[in-house]
Copies of this chain bind each other. A is one copy, B any other.
Amino acid sequence: MNGSAINRHWVLRERPTGEITVSNFELQRGPAPEPAAGEVLVRVHMLSIDPANRAWMFPTATYKAPVEPGQTMHGFGLGEVVTSNAEGFAIGDVVEGMLGWQDYAAVPGSDLTVRRPGTPAEHAMGVFGITGLTAFHGLLEIGRPRPGETVVVSAAAGAVGTIAAQIAKIEGCRVVGIAGGPEKCQWLVDELGLDAAVDYKAGELRKALKRACPNGVDVYFDNTGGDALAAALSTMNVHGRIVCCGNLSQYNTDRPAPGPSGVPGLLVTKRIRMEGFIVLDHLANRDQMEATMQGWLDDGRLKAFQTVVDGLEQAPESLVQMFRGGNRGKLLVRVK
Protein backbone atom coordinates (compact mmCIF):
# COMPACT_ATOMS: atom_id res chain seq x y z
CA MET A 1 0.00 0.00 0.00
CA ASN A 2 0.92 3.63 -0.12
CA GLY A 3 2.88 4.21 3.08
CA SER A 4 1.83 7.83 3.24
CA ALA A 5 -1.92 7.07 3.50
CA ILE A 6 -3.78 9.20 6.00
CA ASN A 7 -5.89 7.42 8.59
CA ARG A 8 -8.90 9.28 9.94
CA HIS A 9 -10.07 7.73 13.19
CA TRP A 10 -12.80 8.59 15.67
CA VAL A 11 -11.43 8.72 19.20
CA LEU A 12 -13.60 8.41 22.31
CA ARG A 13 -13.01 11.82 23.90
CA GLU A 14 -14.87 11.06 27.10
CA ARG A 15 -17.34 8.49 28.29
CA PRO A 16 -20.92 9.69 27.94
CA THR A 17 -22.99 10.42 31.00
CA GLY A 18 -26.44 9.25 30.01
CA GLU A 19 -27.26 9.55 26.33
CA ILE A 20 -24.37 9.72 23.91
CA THR A 21 -23.76 12.83 21.83
CA VAL A 22 -21.52 13.50 18.86
CA SER A 23 -19.26 15.52 21.14
CA ASN A 24 -18.25 12.37 23.00
CA PHE A 25 -16.08 11.67 19.94
CA GLU A 26 -13.30 13.49 18.14
CA LEU A 27 -12.10 12.86 14.59
CA GLN A 28 -8.32 12.67 14.49
CA ARG A 29 -5.91 12.18 11.61
CA GLY A 30 -2.63 10.34 11.50
CA PRO A 31 -0.62 8.00 9.35
CA ALA A 32 -2.12 4.62 8.60
CA PRO A 33 -0.86 2.11 11.18
CA GLU A 34 1.96 -0.31 10.34
CA PRO A 35 0.87 -3.94 10.66
CA ALA A 36 3.16 -5.93 12.96
CA ALA A 37 4.15 -9.55 12.38
CA GLY A 38 0.96 -11.65 12.33
CA GLU A 39 -1.13 -8.59 11.57
CA VAL A 40 -3.00 -7.45 8.51
CA LEU A 41 -3.62 -3.89 7.38
CA VAL A 42 -7.23 -3.50 6.35
CA ARG A 43 -8.79 -0.67 4.34
CA VAL A 44 -12.15 -0.27 6.02
CA HIS A 45 -15.09 -0.25 3.62
CA MET A 46 -18.18 -0.48 5.82
CA LEU A 47 -18.89 -0.13 9.53
CA SER A 48 -21.73 -1.78 11.37
CA ILE A 49 -23.54 0.62 13.71
CA ASP A 50 -25.08 -1.41 16.52
CA PRO A 51 -26.49 -0.97 20.03
CA ALA A 52 -23.40 -2.88 21.15
CA ASN A 53 -21.25 0.13 20.16
CA ARG A 54 -22.89 2.05 22.99
CA ALA A 55 -22.48 -0.86 25.41
CA TRP A 56 -18.72 -0.96 24.74
CA MET A 57 -18.49 2.66 25.92
CA PHE A 58 -19.35 1.72 29.50
CA PRO A 59 -16.30 1.36 31.76
CA THR A 60 -17.20 -2.24 32.59
CA ALA A 61 -16.41 -5.14 30.27
CA THR A 62 -19.21 -6.82 28.39
CA TYR A 63 -18.12 -9.85 26.39
CA LYS A 64 -15.08 -7.80 25.37
CA ALA A 65 -12.94 -5.09 26.94
CA PRO A 66 -14.46 -1.59 26.92
CA VAL A 67 -13.16 1.22 24.74
CA GLU A 68 -11.06 3.63 26.80
CA PRO A 69 -11.07 7.42 26.41
CA GLY A 70 -8.28 8.34 23.99
CA GLN A 71 -8.68 5.08 22.07
CA THR A 72 -10.18 4.67 18.63
CA MET A 73 -13.85 3.78 18.94
CA HIS A 74 -14.57 0.09 18.63
CA GLY A 75 -16.65 -1.02 15.73
CA PHE A 76 -17.31 -4.12 13.72
CA GLY A 77 -16.60 -3.71 10.04
CA LEU A 78 -15.84 -5.09 6.63
CA GLY A 79 -12.78 -4.19 4.56
CA GLU A 80 -10.07 -5.26 2.17
CA VAL A 81 -6.58 -6.47 2.98
CA VAL A 82 -3.97 -3.98 1.72
CA THR A 83 -0.90 -5.40 3.48
CA SER A 84 -0.58 -8.85 4.96
CA ASN A 85 1.95 -9.99 7.54
CA ALA A 86 -0.30 -12.87 8.56
CA GLU A 87 -0.51 -16.34 7.13
CA GLY A 88 -3.73 -17.07 5.27
CA PHE A 89 -4.42 -13.49 4.21
CA ALA A 90 -3.67 -12.12 0.75
CA ILE A 91 -3.92 -8.59 -0.59
CA GLY A 92 -7.44 -8.04 -1.85
CA ASP A 93 -9.11 -10.49 0.56
CA VAL A 94 -12.40 -9.26 1.96
CA VAL A 95 -12.32 -9.57 5.74
CA GLU A 96 -14.51 -8.73 8.71
CA GLY A 97 -13.72 -8.11 12.34
CA MET A 98 -13.33 -5.41 14.96
CA LEU A 99 -11.81 -2.80 12.67
CA GLY A 100 -12.80 0.30 14.62
CA TRP A 101 -14.16 3.62 13.42
CA GLN A 102 -11.32 4.48 11.03
CA ASP A 103 -10.02 4.27 7.49
CA TYR A 104 -7.26 1.75 8.12
CA ALA A 105 -6.94 -0.90 10.80
CA ALA A 106 -3.97 -3.08 11.73
CA VAL A 107 -5.50 -6.24 13.17
CA PRO A 108 -4.09 -9.66 14.13
CA GLY A 109 -5.04 -12.20 11.49
CA SER A 110 -6.51 -14.39 14.22
CA ASP A 111 -9.14 -11.72 14.90
CA LEU A 112 -10.31 -11.55 11.28
CA THR A 113 -12.57 -13.72 9.14
CA VAL A 114 -12.15 -13.93 5.37
CA ARG A 115 -15.49 -13.51 3.61
CA ARG A 116 -16.68 -14.87 0.30
CA PRO A 117 -15.94 -12.37 -2.47
CA GLY A 118 -18.86 -11.09 -4.48
CA THR A 119 -21.43 -10.63 -1.71
CA PRO A 120 -22.67 -7.02 -1.65
CA ALA A 121 -21.20 -5.30 1.41
CA GLU A 122 -24.68 -4.45 2.75
CA HIS A 123 -25.62 -8.14 2.74
CA ALA A 124 -22.22 -9.27 4.02
CA MET A 125 -22.72 -7.00 7.03
CA GLY A 126 -26.45 -7.59 7.35
CA VAL A 127 -28.34 -10.73 6.56
CA PHE A 128 -25.12 -12.72 5.96
CA GLY A 129 -23.20 -11.02 8.74
CA ILE A 130 -23.22 -11.25 12.51
CA THR A 131 -26.63 -9.55 12.46
CA GLY A 132 -28.35 -12.21 10.39
CA LEU A 133 -26.61 -15.04 12.19
CA THR A 134 -27.67 -13.56 15.53
CA ALA A 135 -31.30 -13.53 14.44
CA PHE A 136 -31.08 -17.02 12.94
CA HIS A 137 -29.31 -18.73 15.81
CA GLY A 138 -31.19 -16.88 18.53
CA LEU A 139 -34.65 -17.47 17.16
CA LEU A 140 -34.22 -21.04 15.94
CA GLU A 141 -31.73 -22.58 18.38
CA ILE A 142 -32.70 -20.72 21.55
CA GLY A 143 -36.31 -19.74 20.91
CA ARG A 144 -37.20 -22.97 19.07
CA PRO A 145 -40.58 -21.75 17.78
CA ARG A 146 -43.13 -24.23 16.51
CA PRO A 147 -45.62 -23.49 13.73
CA GLY A 148 -48.71 -21.75 15.07
CA GLU A 149 -46.97 -20.38 18.14
CA THR A 150 -46.92 -16.67 18.93
CA VAL A 151 -43.52 -14.99 18.67
CA VAL A 152 -42.91 -11.45 19.92
CA VAL A 153 -39.84 -9.48 18.84
CA SER A 154 -38.75 -6.22 20.48
CA ALA A 155 -36.87 -3.56 18.51
CA ALA A 156 -38.57 -5.35 15.63
CA ALA A 157 -37.69 -2.68 13.09
CA GLY A 158 -34.01 -2.90 13.96
CA ALA A 159 -31.22 -4.86 12.35
CA VAL A 160 -31.62 -8.15 14.19
CA GLY A 161 -35.34 -7.65 14.82
CA THR A 162 -36.36 -7.38 11.16
CA ILE A 163 -34.62 -10.66 10.39
CA ALA A 164 -35.74 -12.56 13.50
CA ALA A 165 -39.35 -11.50 12.91
CA GLN A 166 -39.26 -12.61 9.27
CA ILE A 167 -37.71 -15.97 10.13
CA ALA A 168 -40.49 -16.51 12.68
CA LYS A 169 -43.03 -15.84 9.91
CA ILE A 170 -41.23 -18.29 7.63
CA GLU A 171 -41.47 -20.87 10.44
CA GLY A 172 -45.24 -20.49 10.42
CA CYS A 173 -45.64 -18.48 13.61
CA ARG A 174 -47.93 -15.60 14.46
CA VAL A 175 -45.48 -12.70 14.84
CA VAL A 176 -45.96 -9.48 16.79
CA GLY A 177 -43.36 -6.73 16.72
CA ILE A 178 -42.68 -4.08 19.35
CA ALA A 179 -41.33 -0.75 18.08
CA GLY A 180 -41.45 2.97 18.81
CA GLY A 181 -44.07 5.15 17.10
CA PRO A 182 -47.11 4.53 14.90
CA GLU A 183 -45.20 4.95 11.65
CA LYS A 184 -42.69 2.22 12.47
CA CYS A 185 -45.47 -0.06 13.65
CA GLN A 186 -47.32 0.42 10.38
CA TRP A 187 -44.12 -0.37 8.53
CA LEU A 188 -43.75 -3.62 10.49
CA VAL A 189 -47.17 -4.77 9.33
CA ASP A 190 -47.09 -3.40 5.77
CA GLU A 191 -43.48 -3.97 4.74
CA LEU A 192 -42.23 -6.69 7.05
CA GLY A 193 -45.52 -8.61 6.92
CA LEU A 194 -45.98 -9.07 10.68
CA ASP A 195 -49.37 -10.01 12.07
CA ALA A 196 -49.48 -7.08 14.50
CA ALA A 197 -47.26 -4.40 15.97
CA VAL A 198 -47.27 -2.70 19.37
CA ASP A 199 -46.04 0.86 19.90
CA TYR A 200 -44.12 0.97 23.18
CA LYS A 201 -44.23 4.76 23.16
CA ALA A 202 -48.05 4.77 23.27
CA GLY A 203 -48.12 3.68 26.95
CA GLU A 204 -49.85 0.72 28.62
CA LEU A 205 -47.46 -1.64 26.88
CA ARG A 206 -48.53 -4.62 28.95
CA LYS A 207 -52.20 -4.26 28.02
CA ALA A 208 -51.42 -3.54 24.38
CA LEU A 209 -49.23 -6.62 24.15
CA LYS A 210 -51.92 -8.80 25.73
CA ARG A 211 -54.44 -7.49 23.17
CA ALA A 212 -52.03 -8.20 20.32
CA CYS A 213 -51.35 -11.73 21.62
CA PRO A 214 -54.74 -13.23 22.48
CA ASN A 215 -53.18 -16.70 22.77
CA GLY A 216 -50.28 -15.52 24.92
CA VAL A 217 -46.60 -15.44 23.98
CA ASP A 218 -44.61 -18.61 23.35
CA VAL A 219 -41.30 -17.12 22.27
CA TYR A 220 -40.10 -13.64 23.12
CA PHE A 221 -37.04 -12.48 21.19
CA ASP A 222 -35.73 -9.74 23.45
CA ASN A 223 -33.48 -7.07 21.99
CA THR A 224 -34.30 -4.43 24.59
CA GLY A 225 -34.86 -5.64 28.15
CA GLY A 226 -36.68 -3.03 30.24
CA ASP A 227 -40.43 -2.46 29.92
CA ALA A 228 -40.82 -4.71 26.89
CA LEU A 229 -39.30 -7.64 28.78
CA ALA A 230 -41.54 -7.02 31.78
CA ALA A 231 -44.61 -6.86 29.54
CA ALA A 232 -43.62 -10.03 27.70
CA LEU A 233 -42.99 -11.89 30.95
CA SER A 234 -46.51 -11.15 32.14
CA THR A 235 -47.93 -12.39 28.83
CA MET A 236 -45.76 -15.50 28.41
CA ASN A 237 -47.37 -18.91 28.19
CA VAL A 238 -46.33 -21.90 30.24
CA HIS A 239 -43.11 -23.40 28.79
CA GLY A 240 -42.36 -20.11 27.05
CA ARG A 241 -38.86 -19.22 25.93
CA ILE A 242 -37.16 -15.83 26.16
CA VAL A 243 -34.22 -15.25 23.82
CA CYS A 244 -31.96 -12.71 25.53
CA CYS A 245 -30.28 -11.09 22.57
CA GLY A 246 -29.76 -7.53 23.77
CA ASN A 247 -30.57 -4.99 26.41
CA LEU A 248 -30.99 -1.92 24.20
CA SER A 249 -33.23 -0.05 26.64
CA GLN A 250 -30.41 0.03 29.19
CA TYR A 251 -27.43 0.84 26.95
CA ASN A 252 -27.86 4.56 26.44
CA THR A 253 -28.12 5.56 30.09
CA ASP A 254 -25.97 5.59 33.17
CA ARG A 255 -28.93 4.84 35.42
CA PRO A 256 -29.93 1.27 34.62
CA ALA A 257 -33.43 0.24 35.69
CA PRO A 258 -33.95 -2.64 38.12
CA GLY A 259 -34.68 -6.03 36.61
CA PRO A 260 -38.20 -7.17 35.78
CA SER A 261 -40.16 -8.16 38.90
CA GLY A 262 -41.33 -11.43 37.30
CA VAL A 263 -37.79 -12.82 37.68
CA PRO A 264 -37.55 -15.44 39.05
CA GLY A 265 -41.17 -15.91 40.22
CA LEU A 266 -42.82 -16.16 36.81
CA LEU A 267 -39.94 -18.22 35.44
CA VAL A 268 -40.81 -20.90 37.99
CA THR A 269 -44.59 -20.87 37.83
CA LYS A 270 -44.64 -20.68 34.03
CA ARG A 271 -41.58 -22.96 33.54
CA ILE A 272 -39.92 -20.35 31.36
CA ARG A 273 -36.46 -20.70 29.88
CA MET A 274 -34.58 -17.42 29.49
CA GLU A 275 -31.27 -17.68 27.75
CA GLY A 276 -28.60 -15.27 26.65
CA PHE A 277 -26.15 -15.89 23.83
CA ILE A 278 -23.39 -14.29 21.79
CA VAL A 279 -23.48 -15.55 18.25
CA LEU A 280 -19.68 -15.58 18.01
CA ASP A 281 -19.83 -18.81 20.06
CA HIS A 282 -21.96 -20.48 17.40
CA LEU A 283 -20.31 -19.91 14.04
CA ALA A 284 -19.29 -23.52 13.41
CA ASN A 285 -22.19 -24.10 11.03
CA ARG A 286 -22.18 -20.60 9.59
CA ASP A 287 -22.09 -21.85 5.99
CA GLN A 288 -25.22 -23.87 6.53
CA MET A 289 -27.07 -20.96 8.18
CA GLU A 290 -26.08 -18.67 5.33
CA ALA A 291 -27.16 -21.15 2.69
CA THR A 292 -30.58 -21.41 4.33
CA MET A 293 -30.94 -17.62 4.41
CA GLN A 294 -29.72 -17.33 0.81
CA GLY A 295 -32.55 -19.67 -0.18
CA TRP A 296 -35.10 -17.53 1.63
CA LEU A 297 -33.72 -14.35 0.02
CA ASP A 298 -33.81 -15.97 -3.42
CA ASP A 299 -37.42 -17.04 -3.15
CA GLY A 300 -38.47 -13.66 -1.75
CA ARG A 301 -39.56 -14.85 1.67
CA LEU A 302 -36.82 -12.89 3.44
CA LYS A 303 -36.17 -9.23 2.70
CA ALA A 304 -32.95 -7.49 3.68
CA PHE A 305 -33.54 -3.96 4.93
CA GLN A 306 -30.68 -1.58 5.49
CA THR A 307 -29.94 2.10 5.93
CA VAL A 308 -26.52 3.04 4.53
CA VAL A 309 -25.03 6.37 5.61
CA ASP A 310 -22.16 7.67 3.52
CA GLY A 311 -18.89 8.75 5.09
CA LEU A 312 -16.79 7.87 8.13
CA GLU A 313 -17.46 11.39 9.41
CA GLN A 314 -21.11 10.37 9.93
CA ALA A 315 -20.39 7.48 12.30
CA PRO A 316 -21.09 9.24 15.65
CA GLU A 317 -24.24 10.93 14.37
CA SER A 318 -25.47 7.60 13.01
CA LEU A 319 -25.11 5.97 16.42
CA VAL A 320 -26.93 8.88 18.07
CA GLN A 321 -29.76 8.59 15.53
CA MET A 322 -30.03 4.85 15.98
CA PHE A 323 -30.91 5.36 19.64
CA ARG A 324 -33.56 7.84 18.49
CA GLY A 325 -35.06 5.11 16.33
CA GLY A 326 -34.00 6.57 13.01
CA ASN A 327 -33.19 3.41 11.08
CA ARG A 328 -35.11 0.50 9.56
CA GLY A 329 -33.18 -2.73 9.46
CA LYS A 330 -29.41 -2.75 9.45
CA LEU A 331 -27.60 0.57 9.94
CA LEU A 332 -24.28 0.86 8.12
CA VAL A 333 -21.70 3.57 7.52
CA ARG A 334 -19.89 3.38 4.20
CA VAL A 335 -16.26 4.40 4.72
CA LYS A 336 -15.00 3.73 1.21
Residues of A within 8 A of B (CB): 62-63, 222, 225, 229, 238, 242, 244-247, 250, 256-278, 281
Contacts and interface: CB of A to CB of B under 8 A. Distances in A.
Contacts of A269: 62-63, 276, 278
Contacts of A260: 258-259, 263
A63 B62 CA distance: 36
Contact of A259 (B244, B245, B263): B263
A247 B222 contact: no
Contacts of A273: 273-276
Given A244-B267, A273-B276, 4 more contacts: A222-B264, A258-B258, A267-B276, A270-B276
Given A258-B259, A269-B276, A276-B272, A244 B264 contact: yes
Given A272-B275, A275-B272, A225 B265 contact: yes
B256 A268 contact: no
A259 B270 CA distance: 16
Copies in the complex: 2
A241 to B, nearest CB: 9
Contact of A276 (B63, B246, B264): B264
A259 B258 CA distance: 6
Contacts of A258: 258-261
A62 B268 CA distance: 9
Contacts of A242: 264
Contacts of A276: 264, 266-273
A3 to B, nearest CB: 40
A164 to B, nearest CB: 15
Contacts of A264: 222, 225, 229, 242, 244, 247, 259, 274, 276
Given A272-B275, A273-B275, A275-B274, A256 B267 contact: no
A63 B277 CA distance: 28
The 9 closest A-B pairs by CB, nearest first: A259-B259, A267-B276, A258-B258, A259-B263, A268-B276, A244-B264, A273-B275, A244-B267, A247-B265
Given A268-B278, A276-B271, A278-B268, A259 B256 contact: no
A203 to B, nearest CB: 20
Contacts of A265: 225, 247, 250, 256
